[in-house]
A = this chain, B = another copy of it.
Amino acid sequence: MDQIDYKILSTLNENARIPISELSRMIAMSQPAVTERLRKLEEQGVITGYRAELSPHKLGKHTTAFVLFKTNNCKDFLAFSETAPEIVDLYRISGEYNYLMKVLTETNESLARFLDSCNIYGYSTPLIVLSTSFEGKSLVASNV
């Protein structure tokens, strides 16, 4: 992992669909060399995947909320949560509550309905997201 690898990671974090030919021009290195570095970064698990980032709003999801909660049935809740399209992120956390989830619903009302339908207790008042200042900042500096 050197400066060139960091540059590759930072560039792909900004635009994962950039052609390798263009990437290689940007970092002034031959295409096969960049391809080989990329292959290694994927193999080592530094790069875990490539994702299209979608607009929740354009897909009719107008409410984003974080909910802290407790559950005894960790295993059951995990199975449920994987099938619930509303839950996009799920974290096991330290502290009074043992889970944190990020939930996307169409409206505030559908958020309330969804929470009622979850088999959880002791959940916090939903932390409604008023605005997302930024999200998914790159883990590697862009000016390497």
Number of copies: 2
> In the bound complex, do residue A127 and residue B100 qualify as a contact, i.e. CB atoms below 8 Å apart?
yes
**Beyond A15-B49, A85-B139, A91-B133: 4 further Cβ-contacts under 8 Å?**
A16-B50, A17-B17, A50-B51, A92-B132
Q: Shortest beta-carbon distance, A137 to chain B, in Å?
A: 4
Contact code string A75-94 (vs B, CB < 8 Å = 1, else 0): 00010011001011111111
Contact code string A9-49 (vs B, CB < 8 Å = 1, else 0): 10011111100000000000000000000000000111111
Q: Shortest beta-carbon distance, A25 to chain B, in Å?
A: 18
- The number of chain A residues with a CB under 8 A from chain B is 58
> In the bound complex, do residue A141 and residue B85 qualify as a contact, i.e. CB atoms below 8 Å apart?
yes
> In the bound complex, do residue A93 and residue B78 qualify as a contact, i.e. CB atoms below 8 Å apart?
no
Determine the chain B residues whose CB is within 8 A of the CB of A125 once the complex forms.
95
Q: Shortest beta-carbon distance, A88 to chain B, in Å?
A: 4
What CA separation (Å) do A115 and B125 show in the bound complex? Answer: 24
Of all chain B residues, the one with the shortest Cβ separation from A90 is B133
> In the bound complex, do residue A51 and residue B54 qualify as a contact, i.e. CB atoms below 8 Å apart?
no
Determine the chain B residues whose CB is within 8 A of the CB of A55 once the complex forms.
45-48
